[in-house]
Each structure stands twice: as C-alpha cells, then as structure tokens.
Structure 1
Amino acid sequence: MAPSFYRPLLALILGQVSLHSAMAGVRLAAPLQSLHEGRSAASVGLLLALFALAPVVLAIPGGRLADRLGYHRPLRIATALSVAGALLAAVAGGHYLVLCLSAMLSGAGANLGLIVVQRSAGRMSSDPTVRLKVFSWLGMAPALSNLLGPVLVGLLIDGAGFQVAFGAMALLPLMALAIARLVPVEAPLPAAAPLAEAARPRRVWDLLRSPDVRRLLLLNWLLSASWDVHSFVVPILGHERGLDATAIGFVLGTFAASVAVVRFAIPVIAHRLTERQVLVGATLATGAVLAVYPFAHPAWAMALCAALLGIPLGSVQPMVMSLLHEATPHERHGEAIALRSMSLNLSSSVMPLCFGALGAALGAGVLFWLMGGLVAGAGSLQARRIRERPPAAS
C-alpha cells in the first residue's frame, strides 16, 4: 500500500491516542485529587461514572454529526471538549462539582473523537481484508492511550502537582489537530434521495432492523462484558487466594499484553481469515477459558488463563467494526458506530453493579462460569448466523 494510505491511517491512530490519553489521564487524576481532598469512595465512584455518562447521552448525536460533516469539523469539536475538560480540572483546585463537569467534557470529547476516527478509518478502503487490517491497527490506540495517559499524569502529579498534570492533559488533544491535515477532506454525499425521503426523520432504531447489526451488537456486548467481568473478578480472586498486588497486576498486565499481541498479528494474517470464522472461534474460546479460570489458583496459572483469554477478546473489535461497516448504509456509518459505543458505555456503567450483586450472592468464580456459558452458547449461535465473507486471495 502506498504512503498516501499510511499517512492518513497514522494520523487517525495518533489522533485517537491523543484524545483518549488525555481522557485516561484526567480519569486517573480527578479521583486521586478527590481522595486527596478527603471525599468518600461513593463520591469517587460517581465521578468515574460521569466519564461514561456523557458518551451514553451524546453518542448518537455525535455519530450523526460525523455522518453529516465528515472528519475535520467534528474532530475540532472533540478536541475543544477534551481541552476544556482538562483545563477546568486544572483550575478547579479540587472543587468536586467542577471536577464532575470536567469528567463529562473529557468523556464526551474522547468518545466523539473515537466515533469520527473509526468512521473515517472504515472508509479508507472498499476491500474487506484491507479494512480489517485498518481496524486492527486502529485497535492498538486504546492500549497505547491507557498506558501513556495514566503513566504521564502519575509522574506529573508526583513531580509537580495536580494542576500541572491536568494542564499537560489539556495539551495532548492538540496533537490530533496538528496532524489532521494528513486526513483527506471527505467529499459530500450526493443528494440523490427524493425530497420526501430526505425529509423523513432518521431513527437510530431503524438500524436494528438489520439482523446482522443486531447480532453484531449482541456479540460485541457479550464479549465486552467478558472483558469487564475479567477485570472485576481477577482482583477479588487474587485477594481470596492471598496474592499480593504485584501478582494481581501481573495477571492483568499479561491479559493486556496478549490483547496487544493479537492485534499486531491480525494485519499479518487477515487474508487467511473471515470475520465470521474469528467471531465463532472467539466466542467458543472465551467460554472455554472462563470455564477453567476459577480452577487456576497460583499466579502463574491465572496469568496463563489471562493470556489465553486476551487472544479471543483482543481479536473481536476489528472483526465487529469491519462487519458493522459492511452491514450499515454508507451515509449512516457514524450513527452505527455511535450506537455500538453507546451500548458499550452503558454496559460498562451498569455491569459492575450486576457483577457485584451476583458475586456477593454466588461467589466471584461463578461469574466466570455464567459469563462463559452465555458467550459460548448465545454468542457462538449469533456468530454462526452472520453472513460469511470468503477470505481474500493471498
């Protein structure tokens, strides 16, 4: 592929990294400052929930904005929201309500940036195999962001204080603007629809009339919930088994490393795969690993299970994004991506509460078995019903 292809892709990846890193940094620093000011754990929990609340509310309008305006203008709005959120935190002096507003702005900016980046990435090629590679490379951005933002903000808090740390997070999103010129300006869609059709209001639920869209959203939710239950249960199991914080961190770090490795590998082997094959395999493999995970007691055994779990879960996002792009109308790609984003943010806000209630009643290990059964059963059934795309010739 030509440099004219790689330069826009690099700009999209770095744009998402810059916006998501800023949000991840603020998401670490704001609760720490609240705890430093003596606020309760409940207050900190509410503050963290607000980072996901704004994306739930604003995802669909953001997707429609991207469909209407393309990449550049929505990116400027996303950057402005992210910068404003970090700057508010910098001048808040620990004021709780200002930090709450900062959380909502930061979450909204990062999520709008995610939608416009993913929408533009999906339009870089009409070839399904190339598109799968694009989404695999793009899938590295969250991992890099969740490393860069928290590490940088932690160093700055310890070295210079909260105000400087928040100020640095306000500078990160500007990188997205600086390299946005590498992304071509999108040509407006032809106004070919009849006036009556164009005047008809678009409803997001119309997208769910497509069986493949419904199946993809359900699959994405099931596998994302498996990710969430792993993050929730591992610290509990580790504590019950007497593991120290270093060992628990090693298990979670092994999972993250496995996700990164598989996303590096997918672009190399994409021509040998179809999305349907990978999704069927991912659901069955996830169910199998979750079934045996509670029996892994030593730290090395838990880390091995974490590495095996990261392979199927890390492979899912590029497949879902590629198929979702194919299953939705060209003029509604941003709206479909926003619907996916909204469902995942809502799940990430609600599911930990469900996990906590079920874990208290049944035990933490049982959560793995319940989730594994759902994924292997309902998930693999839905994956098998997705229309097959033959692999490209190598």
Structure 2
Amino acid sequence: MAPPTRYQVGLLLAQTVVVQAVTFMLRPASAYQALQLDVPASWLGLLGASFAVAPLALAVPAGQAVDRYGERRTALAGAALLAAAGVGFVLLGGTIAGLALASALLGTGHLCAVVAQQALVANATPAGRYDAAFGYYTFAASLGQALGPGLIVLFGGDRPIPDTGAIFLGATVVALPLLATAALLRPSGQHRRATAGRTGGVADLVRTPGVPRALTVSCVVLAAVDVTLVYLPALGAERGIAAGTIGVLLGLRAVASMVSRLLLGRLVAAVGRRRLLIGTVVVSAVGLGALLPPLPFWAMAVVVVVAGLGLGAGQPLTMSFLAESAPPGLRGRAMSLRLTGNRLGQVLIPSTAGFLAAGAGSAGVLACTAVGLAGAAWVATGLHHPARPPAAPPRGGRAE
C-alpha cells in the first residue's frame, strides 16, 4: 500500500479536529443545559455516562466493521450520527431524557468516527513511527477539544449558564461538513487483504502481554478527561465562576495536551515510552488534586495546564502500544478494544463520581479522580515497550 499523501493526511487531521470540536462543544453544553433544568449534581454523572452506554456495547462491532468494510464507511456512519445528535439536542434538549438520548447518539457517532480514524493511522503508518503519528493525530484531537469549549464563549459566555440552544444549533451546522470529509478519505485497503485469511480475534488481543495494563491506563486517563468536562463547569457554577472563564480553562487544558502530543515522538525517544507514561499520569493526578481548595483564576489556570500536559500523553502512548502489538487485519479491533475499556470507565467512573458529588461536591469528585490517576500510574509501572510484531502472514494469507 502506498503511503498516504499530504492531502489525505490533512483531510484526516481536519476531520479529527471537527469531530472533537463538535463533541467537546456539545458535552459541556449538555451539562449546562442540565443545570438550567435544575438537575441535581448527583445526576450529572449519569448524564455523562449516557454518552458512553450505547457505544460500550458497539465499540467492538465498530472495530470489526472497520476491519471488514474499511475505514471510510465507518467514518461516514460516525459523521451521520454526530449530525443526528446535534439535531437531537436542538429538538429534545428541554428534558433530561432528551439530553440523555442525544448524548447517547453523540457518543455512538464519536465512537465510529474515532475508531475509523485510529485504525487508518495504525494501518497506514510504518511500525517505527507510531508514537509520532499518534502524537500528531491526538494533537489534532486536542485542537478540536480546545476549539469546542472555546466556542462556548461566543454564546453567552459571560454568564454562569450560557445560551445552550445556540450552542446546540451551531454544533449541528459545524458537524454537517463531516459527511463530505469522510467520503473523501482513502481507506487503507487492509480490510480487503484481511479477508484472505483468519487473523484471530479480540480474545487473542486480550491475552497479549501488557495489553490489559495499557487498557486500564487508557481507561482511567480518558475518564479523568471526561470528569473534568462535566465537573469543572459544575465547580464553576458552585463557586460563581462565569461560563466563559470555565470555557477558557477547558481550552487551556486542551492546549496543554496539544503541546505534549506534538512533542510526543521526541519525548519518547529521549525518555522511553513506559517512563514517559508513568510520569505524565502522575503529573495529571497532581494537577487535578490541586483543584480541591478555592483558587484564584491564575492559579486555576496553572493547575489545569499542568493536568492537561499529563493527560495529553496517555492516549497516544497506549494507541502506539496497541498498534505495535496487533497484527494487520486486527488493528481496528485493537483500537475498538481500547475504546471499549475507555467507555466502560466513562460509564462507571462518572456514575460513581455523581454519587460522590452528593456529599463531597464537585471539588471532591476531582480529588477522587486524582487518586484514580495515581493508581493508573502504578499500573503503568508493569507496562513494557512491546516487541515489534513479527512479519509472518496471518494463517491462510500472505505477508504484506
């Protein structure tokens, strides 16, 4: 397979930016809308979990669809679902049930788009460049995550509760061009070659040494990002901080993640993948834990930047590990398996956080999340750089 052209790489990165911008614009907006509906703080975690419930069951089938039908078709399905989710927020956002339904659509569309994108990066990148490639890919994701909350400032950001109706409508308009960009993506063709023979399945991936640890770390790190998206706005509402200020803080966290991801290839070459993963997870735990006491804006900004630097590296590092471990024809399933663990964390951790919020408040939830990150850093101490997968062909097939 010929390497992707600059046009195709730019197209993939542009689609990644828009997918994340739409998602990270709608998710905080749904939390603000829930607060406007006088939903108790303990229910916010359940609203966050609705984003992950349906995708939790569909993650592995989405990976199988990528491996069987190709990245482009799955990306198209994800784009259509994201647009449908925007419409759902516009039409049904006046009730908590409608918010939950639209959040489930959003999570499913995000899942399909992300699995397709990650599998395309894994299938089109030489084995020795995974850290840099996934660093650039997740850099684009962080750019979208920074733009999404930043757009909240344009829609009544000087108030504690912004104009969520305008945010929902604007995100829907932004999502529509995703259909065109997905249609223009060139699939890797790995799905056609994989059908020539058997390549194993999810059970084989789970038995790969180190994979359970990588999945655990990925799950906790992403859940920590998820908790900040829901409970940082709630913390702002509790302390009377304007929505625009919280949007700036969320944007700073994403920008900090962009910096760590842009430099990921160089950092791995200098420090090593395992040590870098441990260190960045510890840094993110320290950053979130520091939000427990009331802080002035400048101090909150410093703390959020520190947390963002740490949270940014965890996802691409675990992607690189799985891409190197999985054989051709199973990389879509490998990425979907990682996302399954992530979604499981997004169901359990925010739901648990919601119950904690009833007694400990939003600051207590963030502190508990920091403790979870410290545990993930300990798990990562047993994770070692995998050997490059052998070039032997799958049973019944030919080597690439």
Question: With structure 1 as the length reference, what TM-score do the two structures score?
Answer: 0.76
1:149 Cα deviation after fit: 5.3
Specify the alignment match of 1:340 in structure 2.
338
Question: Aligned pair 1:126/2:131, yes or no?
Answer: no
Aligned length: 378
Contact 1:241-1:297 within 8 A present in 2 as well: no
Aligned to 1:303: 301
Answer whether contact 1:34 1:96 (CA < 8 A) is retained: yes
| 1:207 match | 205
**Post-superposition CA distance 1:169-216 (Å, at most 9, x none):** 4522223235314x55446225665xxx67x9x4x4443222311000
Q: SS state of the match for residue 193, structure 2?
A: coil
**Counterpart position of 1:141:** 140
* Residue number in structure 2 paired with 1:319: 317
Question: Are the aligned partners of 2:50 and 2:347 in contact in 1 as well (CA < 8 Å)?
Answer: no
* Aligned CA-pair RMSD: 4.2
- 2:392 corresponds to: none
1:285–1:112: structure 2 CA closer, same or farther, 3 Å change rule?
same
Q: Match for residue 387 of structure 1?
A: 384
Distance 1:116 1:144 in 2: 19
Measured after TM superposition, the shift of residue 217 of structure 1 is 1.0
Find the counterpart in structure 2 of residue 188 from structure 1: 192
CA positional deviation for 1:109: 2.1
Quick one: percent identity of the two aligned structures? 28
State whether structure 2 residue 278 is matched by structure 1 residue 280. Answer: yes
Comparing 142-151 with 303-312, greater Cα deviation is found at: 142-151
**2:326 alignment partner in structure 1:** 328
Q: How far is the alpha carbon of 1:352 from its aligned partner?
A: 2.6
Q: Could you tell me how far apart the structure 1 residues matched to 2:32 and 2:228 are?
A: 24
Counterparts of 1:1-394 in structure 2 under 5 Å? 4-24=4-24, 41=39, 49-86=49-86, 102-128=102-128, 130-148=129-147, 165=170, 168-169=173-174, 171-181=176-186, 184-186=188-190, 188-189=192-193, 193=197, 202=201, 204-231=202-229, 234=232, 248-290=246-288, 292-294=290-292, 297-362=295-360, 367=365, 370-376=368-374, 378-388=375-385
> What per-residue deviation string (whole Å, max 9, x for no partner) do you get for residues 222-260 of structure 1?
323333454556556666767555555544443232122
C-alpha spacing 1:173/1:223, structure 2 compared with 1 (3 Å): same
Partner Cα distance (2:35, 2:294) in 1? 34
Greater share of residues in helix: 1
Matched-pair contact (CA < 8 Å) for 1:289–1:309: yes
CA contact (8 A) 1:75 1:113 kept: yes
Contact 1:50 1:104 (C-alpha < 8 Å) held by counterparts: yes
In structure 2, relative to structure 1, the CA distance for the partners of 1:340 and 1:350 (3 Å cut) is same
Q: How many angstroms apart in 2 are the aligned matches of 1:285 and 1:189?
A: 42
Compute the displacement of 1:351 (Å).
2.1
In 1: Cα distance, 2:89 partner to 2:117 partner: 26
Q: What TM-score do you get using the length of structure 2 for normalisation?
A: 0.75
Unaligned segments of structure 1, at least 5 residues: none
Check conservation: 1:132, 1:319, Cα contact below 8 A.
Answer: yes
The one-letter code sitting in structure 1 at the alignment partner of 2:6 is Y
Structure 2 gaps of 5+ residues are: 157-162, 388-400
SS of residue paired to 2:329: helix
Amino acid at match of 2:377: S
Q: Is the 8 A contact 1:252 1:303 kept in 2?
A: no
Shift of 1:14: 1.8
Name the CA distance, whole Å, in 2 between partners of 1:365 and 1:18. 30
1:29-80: per-residue Cα shift (whole Å, max 9, x none)?
77888999xx663799877654333322211111111111221222233233
Distance, in Å, in 2 between the alignment partners of 1:249 and 1:151 is 6
Tell me, yes or no, if the aligned pair for 1:286 and 1:313 is still in contact at 8 Å.
yes
- Cα distance in structure 1, aligned partners of 2:33 and 2:367: 37
Give the stretch that moved more between structures: 308-317 or 9-18.
9-18
Cα distance in 2 for partners of 1:32, 1:242 equals 13
